[in-house]
A and B are shown apart, each in its own frame.
Chain A
């Protein structure tokens, strides 16, 4: 993300080559979009639960949580919609050769996403936001469920496309209109690729973790400001319980997923570990740059690492510490290794941080003193945006790690870019998207801040005696 912003700034000064600008624009717009998409996927089950409890029991706590989080969901959904529409056109505007080569394979799933998922989400969200007085309780709860089903289905179909790009199958290349295009030969193989189930479980769970951290952070903040806010003590408890299940699951699942990546995309796996020489691979548990060059070129000699000899081989092969792991030197063209290497470490490190936080919360919950420790509440607040950090860096590993290929071993990204695109056009739209999306994110955070402040005002919160500063990253300022 920072790389894109600096590219955009450079774009003000000088025009960028169309390929670089297109890749930066796609990376930037998808990064922002995925924040809102993941919010929809992760928040949907919470909304369903709160709505169901509120309607079923009439419990004021759940009515309050439903109302608050539905507002968050609505804002997130609108942002997801408006950032998603550019995505569906960028395949054509910036990467038309990709769209033409892969159209027969990806067009179906993308069209199913629109027809099976987006319509469901948009129609029933209209009912959920505006129709409380116009439909029965039962229809209302069902609308919440259908919005959730829509969110999870849209994630499924979009990952069908992405998984096919990582592990393409079920097609053959045939010359048509002057280029080799992928023609569908086996729909089942093409839709249900080896990568799909790995990706889907990992992404849905990452979305749930990100939202659980967000809900936990906001709840901790409200409870810290207003100790007896019953609804928010409940929300904090729910968030911790969700984290206790989802955070460890992500680590266990991710470990197995890594082995699958090594089997199917050895080049990406080598980039994740900055493994250059084919042979035994160690696992760098922990890596710190010895000098600044390690940040851009993470080679063993300029890193200070704590490594487990042979464990890379052990993991990649599933039990043989001396197994041969292919190195980056085998390939003509490699992805930007540093980005993949450091993204992977950031993701894994954050993942373990979440597990620690979940266990700490579980211990406090077991003792029945979840909301009594300021230190724990502050830890929840500070961690609240980091789920998104892990989610984004995880996607950077996946997408940057696949380079130079846009479709693994079938089409290179450089071949997919539009031939008619000029540097001026590509740079202008990149700068435009960066400016507009930065404003969007700022607006989204402002809205969240106002919703939290409004909630506190309704609860009649007073500042706690120790309110030296606020710990919720987006609720800064001095009060």
Chain B
């Protein structure tokens, strides 16, 4: 193994930066995919019983696989940048614990709801499902805000990031459901999606204005740089195009433009961080990265598997493409 892998240098000179990109990519996959699961969970609160089964049937086959991207993100962060993983989590103890408990409620609630035909039982788990689906993106967003901008949890940049993640999750959740359900339900969900999209765009602009005004985490310069401005511009464009497509009833295209929003948000996060990986201690990519041998190893053993994983998802979404059918529990 050591004969095959260089010990004293990276396989390619920019491998640490490549891994920074890989970690941000996994985070992006998580925010995009589990984001619409959260959206389904929040929109669930607006539905009556007959629609709820449809929402759960849309959510059921995919949420678990989507959630694994969180574990992929966390473990790859640990594998490539151990000090960042340790400090990010230790510095945000209650936030992280609250987030994983919210995920726990979100995950078990639909499963347990379906076990009993009893109304009180089902209502209790419905509430738990909605609460978990709302709190998880809120807390995760606050965590991301603290990470990038080095601000307290109860500050404008952190809270705006949290609310922004909630809004964008509702937008993608609505688009996903609209593309997969019958027209009457889709039309009702569309309005929530349009509102959430506009709210999200407003939130992003407010967030960046706050960051520029306060120079939180020293990110003001980056916000005004060309790449970040381009990402923000693209977000506004994708959001507005999505609103138009939604109004026209072109739901599949709307879904594509809606999914671009959380993806662009993750790119923005990467841009605002780089070259640092952990602004609170000023750790840079190069200072935090593991030794060449370790990084070369996770590259040759891990990256090909990541491509295979993308194929799994293509297969999974292929199997469950088209309109939602059945109910939760198969």
Contacts and interface: CB of A to CB of B under 8 A. Distances in A.
Contacts of B101: 86, 432, 436
Interface string A10-48: 000000000000000000000000000000000000000
B297 A184 contact: yes
A72 B322 CA distance: 28
Contact of A82 (B7, B92, B108, B297): B108
Interface in B253-306: 283, 287-288, 290-291, 293-294, 297-298, 301-302, 305-306
A188 B103 CA distance: 36
Contact of A119 (B68, B87, B100): B68
Interface string A123-162: 1111101111111000000000000000000000000000
Contacts of B68: 114, 118-119, 122
B2 interface: yes
A400 B51 CA distance: 50
B-side interface mostly: helix
A112 B82 contact: no
A119 B330 CA distance: 20
Nearest to A75: B111
Nearest to B100: A86
Of B57, B90, B115, the most chain A CB neighbours within 10 A belong to B90
Contacts of A78: 64, 107-108, 111
A372 interface: no
B65 interface: yes
B170 to A, nearest CB: 23
A126 B64 contact: yes
Contact of A425 (B93, B104, B287): B93
Of B70, B92, B309, the most chain A CB neighbours within 10 A belong to B309
A428 B297 CA distance: 39
A104 B100 CA distance: 24
B78 interface: yes
Interface in A72-87: 74-75, 77-79, 81-86
Interface in A57-83: 74-75, 77-79, 81-83
B115 A134 contact: no
B231 interface: no
A432 to B, nearest CB: 7
B326 A130 contact: yes
Interface string B139-183: 000000000000000000000000000000000000000000000
Contacts of B83: 100, 103, 177
A92 B85 contact: yes
A432 B60 contact: no
A89 interface: yes
A303 B74 CA distance: 48
Nearest to B290: A104
Contacts, number: 222
Contact of A85 (B1, B60, B104, B291): B104
Interface in A93-114: 93-94, 96-97, 99-100, 102-108, 110-114
A103 B85 contact: yes
B18 interface: no
Given A113-B75, A114-B75, A440 B2 contact: no
A-side interface mostly: helix
Contacts of B104: 82-83, 85-86, 436, 440
A115 interface: yes
B244 interface: no
Contacts of A93: 89-90, 92-93, 96-97
A131 B1 contact: no
A340 interface: no
Of A78, A82, A105, A187, the most chain B CB neighbours within 10 A belong to A82
Contact of B86 (A79, A81, A99, A108): A99
A175 B217 CA distance: 28
B79 interface: yes
Nearest to B125: A443
Contact of B330 (A77, A130, A432): A130
A183 interface: yes
Contact of A122 (B2, B65, B80, B88): B65
Nearest to B85: A92
Nearest to B309: A119
A447 B287 CA distance: 50
A346 B297 CA distance: 41
Contacts of A436: 101, 104
A91 interface: yes
A127 B82 contact: no
B75 A88 contact: yes
A4 B291 CA distance: 38
A429 interface: yes
B108 A443 contact: yes
A102 B78 CA distance: 10
A110 B111 contact: no
Given A78-B108, A107-B75, A111-B72, 20 more contacts: A78-B107, A82-B103, A82-B108, A85-B67, A92-B85, A92-B96, A100-B83, A102-B82, A103-B290, A107-B85, A108-B302, A119-B65, A122-B67, A177-B288, A184-B297, A187-B5, A421-B90, A429-B94, A447-B115, A450-B115
18 contacts: A75-B111, A82-B104, A85-B70, A88-B71, A88-B75, A93-B90, A93-B97, A99-B82, A103-B82, A107-B85, A112-B305, A118-B68, A119-B309, A127-B316, A127-B319, A184-B293, A421-B90, A432-B101
Sorted from nearest, which 8 A-B pairs have the closest CB atoms? A103-B82, A92-B89, A107-B79, A96-B86, A96-B90, A126-B61, A111-B75, A107-B78
Interface of B: 1-2, 5, 7, 57, 60-62, 64-65, 67-68, 70-72, 74-76, 78-80, 82-83, 85-94, 96-97, 100-101, 103-104, 107-108, 111-112, 115-116, 283, 287-288, 290-291, 293-294, 297-298, 301-302, 305-306, 309, 312-313, 315-316, 319-320, 325-326, 329-330
Interface of A: 74-75, 77-79, 81-86, 88-89, 91-94, 96-97, 99-100, 102-108, 110-116, 118-120, 122-127, 129-135, 177, 181, 183-188, 418, 420-421, 425, 428-429, 432, 436, 440, 443, 446-447, 450
